[in-house]
């Protein structure tokens, strides 16, 4: 079956670094997406990885290991506005996204 696992909730301190992990099992693989979703709002695209390695985009970085079925999202210099849910999604062989339940990130001052 297809499955995406990520922690339900994480807490971090303003200014710190946090890593949100995601493991995936899908029928085929065409890339790994991370989205951010603030409470009551729509998901918004953060990053896409299809090759192994680290992709850096400002304060946010995303890593992929295809052999391990593993990805992480790294958030640096945390700000209060980073409090949100972070959704991991794997694109399967039919180019459909299989979504994790999301990780709620709580930032404390």
Partner 1 sequence: IAGITQAPTSQILAAGRRMTLRCTQDMRHNAMYWYRQDLGLGLRLIHYSNTAGTTGKGEVPDGYSVSRANTDDFPLTLASAVPSQTSVYFCASSDAKGSGTDTQYFGPGTRLTVL
Considering only 20, 87, 105, 107, the residue that binds partner 1 (CB under 8 A) is: 87
Q: Does 69 interact with partner 1 (rule: CB under 8 A)?
A: no
* DSSP tally for the chain: helices H, then strands E: 0, 11
In eight-state DSSP terms, residue 95 is S
Q: Does 41 interact with partner 1 (rule: CB under 8 A)?
A: yes
Nearer to partner 1, 62 or 78 (CB): 62
Q: How many residues bind partner 1 (CB under 8 A)?
A: 22
Considering only 10, 21, 31, 61, the residue that binds partner 1 (CB under 8 A) is: 31
Nearest to 31 by CA among 8, 47, 54, 44: 47
Looking only at the bridges linking them, the beta strands covering 53-57 and 3-5 are: unpaired
Taking the CA of residue 41 as centre, how many other CA atoms within 13 Å lie in the half-sphere pointing to its CB? 12
Nearer to partner 1, 91 or 107 (CB): 91
Instruction: Kindly list the residues in this chain that would bind partner 1 in the complex (CB under 8 A).
Output: 4, 30-31, 33, 41-45, 48, 50, 87, 89, 91, 95-102
């Amino acid at each position: 079956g297809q499955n995406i696992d990520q922690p339900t909730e994480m807490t971090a301190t303003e200014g710190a670094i946090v890593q949100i992990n995601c493991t995936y099992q899908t029928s085929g693989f065409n890339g790994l997406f991370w989205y951010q979703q603030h409470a009551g709002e729509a998901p918004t695209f953060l990053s896409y990885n299809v090759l192994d390695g680290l992709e850096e985009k400002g304060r946010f970085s995303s890593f992929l290991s295809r052999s391990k079925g593993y990805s992480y999202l790294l958030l640096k210099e945390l700000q209060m506005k980073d409090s949100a849910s972070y959704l991991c999604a794997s694109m399967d062989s039919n180019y459909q996204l299989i979504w994790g339940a999301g990780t709620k990130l709580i930032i404390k001052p």
